[in-house]
Chains A and B, each alone.
Chain A
């Protein structure tokens, strides 16, 4: 076998080995944090008891806390984190811009604005709110996509339109809140901050189905984003229809981001930061699975902190991700600059 073939094989192996190690490590981290979140609260539950309760045994005292609070919250944290993060990473990678996550571009805000409008002004609850939130996100994404049009500057236009829409929608949210009575406004605010406080098993099942369908599809489709990253012309030359691919990715991103937002509100920074963190950990390669695991770990950890950091007070999880997100962003910027200097 020639030296060149061996060089190609070695280059591929190096990248893939690193990627596998990273996924295993992140997977272990998520499992660990999941167990911590589900079992180690104010009321500690042994692993064996946890298994017994999941399989149907009732343990007085423990069962209620575990089955109705900590376990569903841990499940929701994993699902929502993975949904926001994979959507964010895929969109950032597609638009080749770290600003282009669904929360910055107003897609999650579209869901929020519609939901807040329905809850506060129309007094809706439950499934209709989820559907309206979904419609809001679809509306924003369709507008962004519509402005992309044809031609080279498509991604730049999409980002500009998205940022503009986000500003408009955030003023809509504020307007609605100003018109609301105090109690409803407070409920809406908790939701807007992002909270896992009141999730039900039916909501978890719904989001689990969405994630189980959309996430694997997104992983397969985003593998081709590597080719789209070469520019639309070259991608077309390699047999990729850039426009159609953007449409498919956008549809999956909206499905994931809007479904998660509908249940637990827009949890700050998860969609925006998971992709860049995963990229950093895998040396500049976009990996949707890695980003999904980073997102899940982030929300699990943040939810645990939000529940137990200050004794007697529970904050919405979004407060913690929001507070923790800013330093992480700074770290990414500093670390990114350092690696640039090393390369040059």
Chain B
């Protein structure tokens, strides 16, 4: 079980502070969703948590150690990251893409092993991509491609997985596929997941823990039923909404109101 903690984390691009003195203890073995309006620092927070962006102040602790002081390959064996819209190299097949997830487990000269084969096969099975193993990634549909990226992250076999908007550009059915896959992974392996999500309703449905951000700070944090309230939605997104309870699951469901037009 790995732990991931941010302490007074401040992240900035050049001089522009995007995340300001943020404290966060990621719940181990749970699925956390970070929500908030565009430009609130969600993705930047993920970059900070995954050591891609070194903090200007404060620190990120992975298993109690400062993440920037750990060898980068060591971190890659404990913490996986799927950025938004990664580049697909020309011509490579699904199997080859997923195999790259094994990179942190290889040395400079270490050969590919049977274990790698088993892990890659399991990742392909879980994402239902076995039949597409030899198909070039650039010929896949959007949903399949996203599953291929997730399979690569799964092949990395990290106890912590950070996903930056894994459902963007997917239709509702494929969004649900991806999020179900995340839940599956959490249920089977106990993987700690932190994902940035645009859609508050999806976040409320699929996450155990919600982190609502606005202006680089955490506005509210807790179980979806506590966080998804008209008051929090108003303060985070600046919209009026009703929240009702889903009769089948008991999850909160957000119903945004139409904005009243100014009578001008």
Contact = CB atoms under 8 A, between A and B. Distances in A.
B89 A229 contact: yes
B83 A237 contact: yes
Interface stretch (B19-27, B115-123, B249-257): B115-123
B101 interface: yes
Interface residues of A, number: 33
B72 interface: yes
A9 interface: yes
B80 A4 contact: no
Contact of B136 (A231, A236, A240, A343): A343
A285 interface: yes
Interface in A3-44: 3-5, 7-12, 14-15
B156 interface: yes
A233 B96 CA distance: 19
Contacts of A283: 91
B90 A9 contact: no
Interface string A282-313: 01110000000000000000000000000000
B124 A4 contact: yes
Nearest to A93: B89
A229 B87 contact: yes
B217 interface: no
Contact of B86 (A8, A14, A226, A234): A234
Interface string A207-240: 0000000000000100010110111011011111
A133 B118 CA distance: 51
A5 B75 CA distance: 27
Contacts, number: 108
A73 B263 CA distance: 86
Interface string B107-133: 011001000011011101100001001
A230 B130 contact: no
B100 to A, nearest CB: 6
A236 B133 CA distance: 25
A7 B50 contact: no
A46 interface: no
Interface of A: 2-5, 7-12, 14-15, 96, 220, 224, 226-227, 229-231, 233-234, 236-241, 283-285, 343-344
Interface of B: 47, 50-52, 72-77, 79-83, 86-87, 89-93, 95-96, 99-101, 103-104, 108-109, 112, 117-118, 120-122, 124-125, 130, 133-134, 136, 138-139, 156
22 contacts: A4-B121, A8-B99, A8-B124, A10-B134, A11-B93, A11-B96, A12-B117, A15-B93, A96-B87, A224-B103, A226-B100, A229-B87, A229-B89, A233-B52, A234-B83, A236-B50, A236-B52, A237-B52, A237-B82, A241-B72, A283-B91, A343-B139
